[in-house]
Structure 1
C-alpha cells in the first residue's frame, strides 16, 4: 500500500504531509467494511468536501474564462464538466482507478470500472489535498487534471451531445441508437450499440452499460464524420 501511495503522489505531483489522508481518500466503503474500519474509515466524508472544493474551483475558472456567458450557461457548462462521467474519464486519464482500495466483493463485481466509484475517489482526493495543503495545491491539481483540454475531453466523455450538435448543424434528423448485442452475466454485461444518422449506421460501440455503449458508438460516428 505504501508503495502504491508513493506512486500516486508521483503521478499527481503532490507529496502529502499526512499520508493517512491520501490512504483514506483511496478507501472505498467496501474495503473499510471488510476491515471493520467503520463508516468514518472510508472516503465518503472526503468526497463530500472535495465535491464542494471542485465546485468552487470550476466556478471560478468558468466565471473568468467565459466573461460574456449568463448564469444559466455557466451552470450548464459546470454541470457537464464535473458530472460523474466526465470526472471518471479524467481520473482514468492519469490511472487513478488502480489505486482505489476495494473490498473483494466489489472488486469481483467490476467496481474498479464503475464511474460512480472512480469519480467519488477523484473528489475524495481533491478533498484530501485541500485538507493537507490548502486551496492552492487542490486548485493546481484540478486545473492540471480536470480543467485542461476541455474541448478535446468533451468529445470523449460527452460524445452523444457533441454528435447531436454536429447533426443538427447539418440539418439531419436526430441520431438514433440501436442495440445490436447484449452478452455476459448480469454482474458483467457487455452491450454493443450502433449510431444511425438518417437511417445510416455511422459507428458502433461496446460498453458495460447501454449508455456507455451509446457514447462509444457516438465517438466512432464523430470520427467517421470528421
Structure 2
C-alpha cells in the first residue's frame, strides 16, 4: 500500500516511517468514515491508550526516583489525559490528515479536542503494531518532550481537583448532569451543570460533554475555593 502525499508528510512530522502503512491509514480514519471495506481507529485508540500509559508511567518513575505514588499519580493523569493528547496532535498537525465523514467535517472535526486526542492514541498504537514497543516509546517521549519533566507535582484536571476539594470538606463527590443541548445534530452544543452536595453549582457549554464538564468544574472550584469561610 502506498501512502498519499499528505500522509507521507505526516510520517515526517510524526518521526516514524511505516513498514505497514495501512496501520497509519486506519489510525487516522474516524468512525464517521467506516465502511464495509474500511476500518476506523477505535480499536487502535483502545490499544494506544494503554501503550501511552505504560511509557509515561515508566518515564515518570525514571525521571523522579524518589517520588511517592501520591506524587506520581497526578502527573501521570495530566500527561495521558485527552487534553494533552490533543495538544500533541495539534503540534504535529494530525487534524490535517484525519479521514472524516461529511458531518464531522462540517462541524469542525479536525479541531475537536476529543477527536484529536482519540486519533493521537490510535497513531501511537499504529506505531506500536508496526514496529514494537521501543519505536512507540521513542515517538511518545520525543513528542511529549519537556512535558514529562516539567509537569507539576500537583497537576490535576479540574474534575479531579473539584472532587478532592469536596472530599476535604466532607462532601460527596460532585454530580454532573446535562441541562441543555442545542445546535444541529452534526455540531451539538452541550450544557453541563456541576453541582456539589451543599447546593453550589456552575454550568458550562461546549461541543463535547467532557469539555463542558471540565469547564464547569473549573468554574465551580474557582468560586468555592476562593470563598471566605
CA–CA separation in structure 2 for the residues paired with 1:54 and 1:187:
30
CA–CA separation in structure 2 for the residues paired with 1:209 and 1:2:
31
TM-superposed CA distance for 1:161, in Å, is: 5.6
Q: After the TM superposition, which residues 121-140 of structure 1 pair with which residues of structure 2 at under 5 Å, given as runs?
A: 121-140=119-138
1:188 aligns to what SS in structure 2? coil
2:117 aligns to what SS in structure 1? helix
TM-score by length of 2: 0.63
Residue 188 to residue 216, structure 1, CA distance change in 2 (3 Å) = same
Residue 209 to residue 23, structure 1, CA distance change in 2 (3 Å) = closer
Residue 165 to residue 29, structure 1, CA distance change in 2 (3 Å) = closer
Residue 164 to residue 17, structure 1, CA distance change in 2 (3 Å) = closer
CA–CA separation in structure 2 for the residues paired with 1:191 and 1:105:
17
User: How many positions carry a matched residue from both structures?
Assistant: 214
- Within the alignment, does 1:89 sit opposite 2:86 as a pair? yes
CA–CA separation in structure 2 for the residues paired with 1:49 and 1:165:
29
CA–CA separation in structure 2 for the residues paired with 1:38 and 1:44:
12
1:130 aligns to what SS in structure 2? helix
| Cα RMSD (Å) | 4.4
Quick check: which one's helix share is greater? 1
TM-superposed CA distance for 1:38, in Å, is: 4.8
Task: Encode CA deviations 1:137-164: one digit per residue, 9 max, x unaligned.
Answer: 321221232344434xx58xx3566699
Task: Encode CA deviations 1:52-91: one digit per residue, 9 max, x unaligned.
Answer: 3212111111222253313x553454334323x3344333
5+ residue gaps, structure 2, are 166-179, 193-202, 222-229
Question: Residue 119 of structure 1: which of 117, 120, 127 is its match?
Answer: 117
Residue 216 to residue 4, structure 1, CA distance change in 2 (3 Å) = farther
TM-score by length of 1: 0.63
